[in-house]
Amino acid sequence: MDYIYNPITIRLAVPADAPDMAQVHMRSWEAAYNDIVPAEYIREKNAGRPALWQRIISSENTAHYIIQRDRQTVGIMTIVPTPQDGDADCETCELEGIYLHPDYYRMGIGTQAMDFAFDTARRWGKTVMTLWVFAENTNAIEFYEKCGFKSDGKTKTYNMGKTMNCIRMKRALEEEPM
What domains sit in the chain, N to C, each tagged with a CATH number? 3-172 (3.40.630.30)
* DSSP strand pairing (92-100 vs 128-134): parallel
Residue 171 phi/psi, 5-degree rounding, is: -145, 135
3-class DSSP state of 61: coil
* 7 preceded by a cis bond (ω within 30 of 0): yes
Distance CA 54, CA 15 (A): 7
In this structure, the dihedral spanned by the alpha carbons of residues 9, 12, 14 and 19, taken in order and rounded to 10 degrees, is: 60
Helix, strand, coil % (nearest 5) of the chain? 35, 35, 30
Contact status, residue 168 vs residue 154, Cβ threshold 8 Å: yes
Mean pLDDT to the nearest integer, 145-168: 94
Q: What is the pLDDT of residues 33-65, one digit of tens each?
A: 999 999 999 999 999 999 999 999 998 999 999
- Residue 82's pLDDT is 78
- Judged by DSSP in three states, 67 sits in strand
pLDDT of 1 reads 52
Give the residue from 3, 12, 14 showing the smallest Cα distance to 115.
3
pLDDT of residue 169: 97
Q: What is the pTM of this model?
A: 0.89
R_g of the chain computed on alpha carbons: 16
Write out the E strands in the chain.
Answer: 3-5, 8-12, 64-69, 72-80, 92-100, 128-134, 150-159, 163-172
Q: Each residue of 73-126: pLDDT tens digit?
A: 999 999 998 767 666 668 899 999 999 999 999 999 999 999 999 999 999 999
What value does the mean pLDDT of the chain take?
91
pLDDT at 175: 53
